[in-house]
Structure formats: C-alpha cells, structure tokens
Amino acid sequence: MKVEQIAIFLENRSGRLAEITGILAEKGINIRAMSLADTSDFGILRLIVNDTENARKVLKENGFTVGTTSVVVVEVKDKPGGLANVLQIIKKADLNIEYMYAFTQKSGETGLIIFRFEKIDAAIDVLVKAGIRLLSGEEVYAI
C-alpha cells in the first residue's frame, strides 16, 4: 500500500511555487496533496499527483531537481482522537515517522494522513494488522 510522492527542491524565492503549479497545470497533472517545508535558502515541495511519472519528467525538463519517495496514506475518522489512535499504534510498534501531513476530504467524515516512515514495510505491516485502512496509489491518485 505504498503511494508514490514527488519531492521538488527549490530555491526560496518569489514565484517558484507558481511556476511549478503552472507547469503541472499545463500538462493536465492534478495535485492531490501537497506539503511545503522551507528554510531561509531553499524549500522542499512534496506532492502527490495523479500522474507521478509525467510530473517528474516535465519538472526535470524545466530544470527542477525532483526525486520520488514512497509514503503511506492512512484513512482516519474526522473526529477528535482519529489521529491520536493511529499514532498510539505507531508508538507501541516503536516506528519512527520522518514526516507527515494531512488533509480532510469532507468535514466530519474522513481525513487522510500521509506518512513517511523510516521503515515503511514494517509500518505497513503494523497498521494493516491493527485494522487501519491504507489507501492504494490508485485510490489516492483518483481523489
């Protein structure tokens, strides 16, 4: 249940995010989830898109440094404690989270949490055994 994510390294200057989203829009690539982390000099834009390979290709062609990583997308109930329950399972299994970001599809129903784990296969095994719903790449790309 791994989902491919692209990471784009970009200098921290005005207009770079608009440039990236414009390139993707021009090619008909839809962004499903995104996270931007920055320092004073550069940023890392993480995207889950509906066409990972094409997005990676067109961004590289336009001079961006792009990598791909595998993440896990977990569905939780959109209510107090939804995330806490998943994090308790992860804590009990002594799994390390490298980073995470989340979004809600429809308020009061479900939220999706994107996790990057140090040991992704172990995390998948623990979460599945605990009855946590993991989304496939196809499900996420089709959102």
Q: Choose the weakest-confidence range: 76-90, 94-108, 129-143.
A: 94-108
What CATH number is attached to the domain comprising 81?
3.30.70.260
pTM comes to: 0.88
- What is the average per-residue pLDDT within 21-50? 92
Interatomic CA distance for residues 71 and 120, integer angstroms: 8
Considering 42, 70, 98, which residue would you say is the last residue of a domain?
70
What CATH number is attached to the domain comprising 55?
3.30.2130.10
Residues 78 and 63 in one domain: no
Considering 54, 70, 86, which residue would you say is the last residue of a domain?
70
68-96 tens-digit pLDDT? 999 999 999 888 898 999 999 999 999 99
Residues 63 and 112 in one domain: no
pLDDT of residue 63: 94
3-state SS class at 35: strand
Q: Choose the weakest-confidence range: 3-7, 41-45, 81-85.
A: 41-45
How many independent structural domains does the chain possess? 2
Interatomic CA distance for residues 96 and 123, integer angstroms: 9
* Domain hosting residue 79, numbered range: 72-141
